[in-house]
Structures are given as structure tokens and as C-alpha cells.
Chains A and B, each alone.
Chain A
Amino acid sequence: MSLKIIKAGVLDTIQDLGRYGSQYLGINPGGAMDRFAAQVVNMLTGNDIYEPVIELHFPSSIFLFEQEAMIAVGGADFSATIDGEHIPLWQPVIVAKNSILQFEKWKKGARCYLAIKEKLNIEKWLGSYSTNIKAASGGFNGRSLQKNDEISFKEKCDYKCFLKDNDFVALPWKADILWKETLIERIAIVPGNEWELLTKESRKKIFKDFFVIGSLADRMGYRLQGTLNAKQGCELVSSIVSFGTIQLLPNGELIILMADHQTAGGYPRIAYVASAHLPLLAQKQPGDKIYFRFTDQENAEELLFLQPQHLLQLQTACKFRLAEFFSEKEN
């Protein structure tokens, strides 16, 4: 008994928080593009943040639940429905056996995450559940989900007393993620080792102008429209790059490396995105405008420490609410 894919989406994969420890072999970390959303949906179901989740792009797969489950959906808004009725984002939802989860309409964002309390029965590869499509490894058979795939669950719970005759029941609390979306207007970037290669004008322009995400924007990286100038041509020997590295291409365009980046690259690394702002970037798509703001290592570090504080509070609150909810119903 499990989750069955009755129609395949364009690119739906199993992801977690990334595969670290194998980059020396050329195996990239991969993992969820929006690590924040992936953690929050897991927390909402009471799962550990390292549990695998399903990362959905639009159009997304259609799922059939062959057993009862508690799920949480968050990240992009693709109008999730259970048997045709809308379910809320960022909220735990109990779904009945034989219910169908569908994503009907694109509303906002680029990547939506689905967590399941019953836990996907997936094996780790090199320490991670993330799908590495290039290596045809990790996740579900090393590939995106296809029609008729069935993923079994590790656990089984009885939710009959909560569901009664309903197709689903949304639990009465919601993760507060507004602070993330409203507080950040500009994406903070820190000058990288090859920053000085940019001309003085370009070093100003990057913070003044907006950039439009071009049509080449996927899990590997986002090409930005518009160009910057380098003082001189620069040939680098291949060195290590990461999620958030901003490279200057020979034609003056910028590329921001995303979760499925290569481990090494030879283009100048003019800056990197403060990792606290990567989740925001992960929800952008071709045609979206982005603005950058300058920050330094010290501030990027502070930004990064804010997020776990929010997440820790959320995790504690979720655990408390879940425990309370289940004990009330039992009594």
C-alpha cells in the first residue's frame, strides 16, 4: 500500500537536504531547491527535517493515496486539491484511502514540496535520498517520477476517527512563513574571489539594475538576462563552485548555480548568494525580475542563523500541536 503516480508531472523528484561527502568524486549535493519549504513541510507532519520529500514542478504529477496518510504541501502554490477540493498550503492534512492529490493551476512560485508523515520507503545512496538524474542514482530509481510508479510507505496510521466520511481533514494550524516572503525584497550577495574582475561600472550596475531570469533556468542554474563587463578576459583553472555561486560567462551574462550545479567550474565566481536567500531564489522562474543587494560574509552568516531560529520554533510548535491533537481525539 502506497502512493501511486497516475499521471506523471514534468519533473517531480525525491529530494532531501542534499548529498554531502561525495563532491570529491564529482558527485554534486543536489537536494531540494527550496530547502526551507522542504524542511517546513516535513515539520508540519512531525517528520525529521532530513526525511525525503517530493519536489514538484508545474504541471505536477497526479497522486493516488492507496492508504490513509498525513501530508503537508508547501512552497510554490499550484492549487493543490484532494478529490477536486482545495487543500491549504503549509498546513497538515489527513487524506483518506483512495483519494487523489492533484495540482490544478499554477498560481505562484516554481517548486512545491510534498511531505508524508508515513515516510517514503526509499533507500539512501551515498548518504542521501536526493535524486541525481545524471548519475541515474538516488531517490526513486534515480529518475523523476513516472506514471504507474508506486512508492510504499514505511509506516501506517489509522486516521478513521479523524476522517469519518471525509476525503480529507485539514488540521487547524498553519506554519507562519510570511516573514520569509515579505521581508526579503532584494537577494543578498557577497562578493566572490573573482569580484575584482568586474569593471567599476559593472560592480555598481549589479546592485542598481534588476536582472530578468532567462529561459535557461532549471535545477542546475539560472541564466540571467543582461550583461556585465570584465576588465580583462579571465581563464581560471577549474575550481570548486556551490549552490548560489554567481559566475560571469565569457559573453558577459551571469549564471547563478542552483542545487544540481556541477562540483567544479572554470568561469569567474564574481559573487555568491547568501544561503538564507536561496529558498527565495528557488521559487523564481523564467521572466521573474530579481534585484541584488550587497552584503558581506559577516551579514550573510547572521542571516543564515536567523532561519534556524524560526525553524526551531516552528518544529517545537508543530510537535506540540500534533501531540495535543492526537491525545485530545483519543480521550
Chain B
Amino acid sequence: MENSASYKIYFINDSAAAIDFGNVIDKEINAKAVALFNYLKQYPIEGMIEAIPAYSSVSIYFDILSLRKKIPSHKKVYDWIQNKLNQVMASKVTGFETIADLVRIPVCYDEEFAIDLPWIATQKNLTREEIIHLHSSRQYHVYMLGFLPGFSYMGEVDEKIAVPRKPEPQPILAGSVGIAGKQTGIYPLNSPGGWQIIGRTPLKMFDKNKMEPCLLKAGDSVEFYSITKDEFNHIQDNPPLLRRGVGGEAA
């Protein structure tokens, strides 16, 4: 991969290795990780089971039992994997950056859903309207999915509304939109969670019955727009068909 001189390879278990570009939250570094993931999806390394992108790394699972049979017995499989990964990194491959879909996500910031908005308002000395405006007036980058099926780690929120996680996880309902530090994200399922909740989307972020069960993918761009409770109910009762697409409306 081009421009990826600075990376480190290490193993996360005896059948998976990570290619790590550094312990940072950075859009450009994340783009490298996502491009590498896209590349591996199209050109999987022999014996590869799956690749998983994170903020600044890609982890790759291997079927090391089948590799053992293919590789000369005097060679260690992990050495072979390490060499392969270095070869991939040395190859001049470009054009695998994600073509970001812009997904516009409706959020109802109504009191009923925005359980932690009053606390943020007090902490940050902002009005409710200011917080909603700050959250919904910029574009966010989807760095990765993780934690729960379809849970998207997005950033970065305006410093003015960046607040720490709750000290203890609390029960959170599906669709809840939260803030943790400079990250924002949407809970796709009911789950315990520690992010500060400021609203809820009526969209299904995760649908197990779909071929592509998650609405977002790493590398996407997201915009939030404010809707009323009535609009929330309407969208929930009439789920939109068109959910994705370049520049497409999410609702």
C-alpha cells in the first residue's frame, strides 16, 4: 500500500495479526486502515479468514491449520504471515480508499430521548438549542464499527460538547445517539452503555434480516438533522426504503 511506510505488525492471538499505523484517532490514518481493509477484501491473502478495520489498525484472522499444510514444514506459519503482510504493505497499490457514502441521519433531540442533554447543558453552560445545533451542524467520519453489531464510532464533535463517559454503564435503548469525549455514536441495540445520550434516531441501524445488516460502514460520512417527535414516530412507522447511496438521504 502506498504511503504506509510507518506501521507495525504484531499478533493478537496465534491465528490473527494486526497491522497498526499508530495509537491515534486521525482521519487520514483511519483512511489508510480502511483502504487496507478494502484491498484485503478484494485481494485476500492465502489462508485469510477475515480482516477487521479499527481506528488505526487492521487485524487479519488466518486459518493457520490449512496454512500449516501448505507451507514447508521447516517454516513457521507466523513468520510466513508476517512476510506476507510486509509484502502487501510494500506493494504499490492505490485506489482502495473508501468512497464515502454521505448518510443523513434524523435525530429527535426531544427531552424524552435526550436523557443526558440537561447534564451536558449544565456542565458546558450551553442551552439545549446550542447543543443540538453544534451536534447537527457538521459532518462526521465513521472510523469503525465495533462494541455492538453496527455500533459506529464517529468523530469528531465540537470541543464545546465533548463530555466524558458516565462512570458506570446504564441501560440504553436502541437508536440512542451519544457522545463520549470527542466521539459520537448510535446504539444499534438495547444495551448497557456509558455514552452521554442526547437524542434518538428512528432508523434501524442494525437489521439482522438484511443482507447488509448495518446501515453504516467504516469510512462513511454522517450528518445528523433534527426532527420532531411527530416526525420520529412517522419515520419509525414508515421505515424509509432508500437508506444508503452517495449523498443519499437516510430518510
A103 at the interface (CB under 8 A from B): no
A25 to B25, CA, bound (A): 19
Contact of B57 among A25, A137, A239, A298 (CB under 8 A): A239
Contact of B15 among A132, A238, A275 (CB under 8 A): A275
B90 at the interface (CB under 8 A from A): no
Establish whether residues B57 and A134, one from each chain, have CB atoms under 8 Å apart when the complex forms: no
Q: How far is the CB of A286 from chain B (nearest CB, A)?
A: 20
Given A27-B149, A240-B54, A263-B146; A125-B18 close (CB under 8 Å): no
A126 to B211, CA, bound (A): 9
Contact of A20 among B49, B153, B206 (CB under 8 A): B49
Chain B residues with Cβ under 8 A from A136's Cβ?
189, 208
The stretch among A61-69, A156-164, A300-308 that forms the contact with chain B is A300-308
Contact of B14 among A20, A24, A240, A275 (CB under 8 A): A275
A272 at the interface (CB under 8 A from B): yes
Chain A residues with Cβ under 8 A from B13's Cβ?
242-245, 272-273, 275
B221 at the interface (CB under 8 A from A): no
Establish whether residues B214 and A240, one from each chain, have CB atoms under 8 Å apart when the complex forms: no
The stretch among B60-68, B100-108, B111-119, B223-231 that forms the contact with chain A is B60-68
Establish whether residues B147 and A23, one from each chain, have CB atoms under 8 Å apart when the complex forms: no
A109 to B15, CA, bound (A): 26
Establish whether residues A240 and B18, one from each chain, have CB atoms under 8 Å apart when the complex forms: yes
Establish whether residues B50 and A190, one from each chain, have CB atoms under 8 Å apart when the complex forms: no
| B12-24 Cβ-contact flags toward A at 8 Å (1 or 0) | 1111101010011
A297 to B189, CA, bound (A): 37
Q: How far is the CB of A94 from chain B (nearest CB, A)?
A: 32
Given A125-B208, A275-B15; A25-B145 close (CB under 8 Å): yes
Establish whether residues A264 and B208, one from each chain, have CB atoms under 8 Å apart when the complex forms: no
Closest partner residue, chain A, to B50 (CB atom): A21
Establish whether residues A237 and B65, one from each chain, have CB atoms under 8 Å apart when the complex forms: no
Closest partner residue, chain A, to B14 (CB atom): A300
| A14-35 Cβ-contact flags toward B at 8 Å (1 or 0) | 0000001111111100000000
Establish whether residues B208 and A263, one from each chain, have CB atoms under 8 Å apart when the complex forms: no
Count residues of B near A (Cβ-Cβ below 8 Å). 47
Chain A residues with Cβ under 8 A from B11's Cβ?
190, 272, 297
Establish whether residues A239 and B206, one from each chain, have CB atoms under 8 Å apart when the complex forms: no
In this complex, the member of A125, A239, A245, A262 whose beta carbon has the largest number of chain B beta carbons within 10 angstroms is A239
A236 at the interface (CB under 8 A from B): yes
Chain A residues with Cβ under 8 A from B56's Cβ?
237, 239
B144 at the interface (CB under 8 A from A): yes
Chain B residues with Cβ under 8 A from A142's Cβ?
208
Establish whether residues A25 and B150, one from each chain, have CB atoms under 8 Å apart when the complex forms: yes
Given A300-B14, A301-B64; A24-B218 close (CB under 8 Å): yes
Count residues of A near B (Cβ-Cβ below 8 Å). 45
Closest partner residue, chain B, to A303 (CB atom): B14
- From 241 to 288 in chain A, residues with beta carbon under 8 angstroms from any chain B beta carbon are 241-245, 262-264, 269, 272-276
Establish whether residues A237 and B54, one from each chain, have CB atoms under 8 Å apart when the complex forms: yes
A316 at the interface (CB under 8 A from B): no
Q: B interface vs A, CB < 8 Å?
A: 10-16, 18, 20, 23-25, 37, 49-57, 59, 61, 64-65, 68, 76-78, 144-151, 153, 189, 191, 206, 208, 213-214, 217-218
Contact of A134 among B51, B68, B189 (CB under 8 A): B189
Q: How far is the CB of B45 from chain A (nearest CB, A)?
A: 15
- From 123 to 179 in chain A, residues with beta carbon under 8 angstroms from any chain B beta carbon are 125-126, 132, 134-137, 142
Contact of B145 among A26, A241, A269, A300 (CB under 8 A): A26
Establish whether residues B23 and A242, one from each chain, have CB atoms under 8 Å apart when the complex forms: no
Chain A residues with Cβ under 8 A from B65's Cβ?
304-305, 308
Establish whether residues B49 and A21, one from each chain, have CB atoms under 8 Å apart when the complex forms: yes
Given A135-B189, A136-B208; A26-B146 close (CB under 8 Å): yes
Chain A residues with Cβ under 8 A from B144's Cβ?
238, 264
Given A21-B50, A237-B23, A240-B12; A264-B64 close (CB under 8 Å): no
Chain B residues with Cβ under 8 A from A132's Cβ?
149
- From 170 to 192 in chain A, residues with beta carbon under 8 angstroms from any chain B beta carbon are 190, 192
A to B CB contacts below 8 Å, 28 in the list: A20-B49, A20-B50, A24-B52, A26-B145, A26-B147, A27-B213, A126-B213, A134-B189, A135-B189, A142-B208, A190-B11, A192-B12, A237-B55, A240-B12, A240-B18, A242-B13, A244-B13, A262-B148, A263-B146, A272-B12, A274-B14, A297-B14, A297-B78, A301-B77, A304-B14, A304-B15, A304-B64, A308-B65
Establish whether residues B146 and A264, one from each chain, have CB atoms under 8 Å apart when the complex forms: yes
A215 at the interface (CB under 8 A from B): no
Chain B residues with Cβ under 8 A from A276's Cβ?
14
Closest partner residue, chain B, to A132 (CB atom): B149
A193 at the interface (CB under 8 A from B): yes
Given A240-B59, A245-B12, A297-B78; A193-B18 close (CB under 8 Å): yes
Chain A residues with Cβ under 8 A from B76's Cβ?
298, 301
Establish whether residues B206 and A135, one from each chain, have CB atoms under 8 Å apart when the complex forms: yes
Establish whether residues B149 and A26, one from each chain, have CB atoms under 8 Å apart when the complex forms: yes
A2 to B55, CA, bound (A): 47
Establish whether residues A24 and B53, one from each chain, have CB atoms under 8 Å apart when the complex forms: yes
Which 3 pairs, one residue from A and one from B, show the smallest C-beta to C-beta distance? A264-B146, A240-B59, A237-B55
Chain B residues with Cβ under 8 A from A126's Cβ?
213
Establish whether residues A240 and B208, one from each chain, have CB atoms under 8 Å apart when the complex forms: no
